[in-house]
Amino acid sequence: MDVVIVLTTTSTYPNPGNHIYYKVPTDNHLHRHLLTNFLVRKKKSIEQPREVLPAGMRDTDFFTRVYEVVRLVPKGRVTTYGAIARFLGSGKSARMVGWAMNACHHVKPPVPAHRVVNRNGQLSGKMHFGEPDRMEQLLKKEKINVSKDTIVNFEQLLWDPQQEIELF
């Protein structure tokens, strides 16, 4: 199903009062997210991911792109929802990355979702691991110390894909 959004320009660009038509396919998670942000939250613009991605990461949906980036996080390191979103060119979609992590537990090949934390190093997604302490256990197995649901020495363990992954 496609949805057509009609916007009326109010500024002097390009011509005030003109109608702009957007045809938005709703057959994947990213398009539904963009449509929800635009209609429900009344965003003034729709932010699209940029197409500057590592080789082999084109022509896939947003969740698949997230999974590919998360699989690159080395053992013993962590990254954030926001860092992944920025790397994928959709900096305001950190929550969408979180949704992808919530949905990845049965994806093959496995996605190390336990290596993705919030911007403060807190285990904000731990409730999606079935057992209350499972995320912490997986991190401790990789020699990552956790205290009060927060990564110890978070800044030193942070893996930022924008700095670590070489673009094509």
Q: What is the pLDDT of residues 70-122, one digit of tens each?
A: 999 999 999 999 999 998 888 888 999 999 998 888 888 999 999 999 999 99
Distance CA 62, CA 126 (A): 22
Domain encompassing residue 95: 62-164
Q: Quote the pLDDT of residue 73.
A: 92
| 2-8 and 19-25 strand pairing | antiparallel
**Residue 55 lies inside a defined structural domain of this protein:** no
Residue range 149-164: average pLDDT?
92
Q: Quote the pLDDT of residue 60.
A: 53
**Residue 94 lies inside a defined structural domain of this protein:** yes
Q: What is the pLDDT of residues 19-54, one digit of tens each?
A: 545 555 555 555 555 555 555 544 444 444 444 444
- CATH number for the domain harbouring residue 118: 1.10.10.10
Q: Quote the pLDDT of residue 165.
A: 75
Residues 160 and 81 in one domain: yes
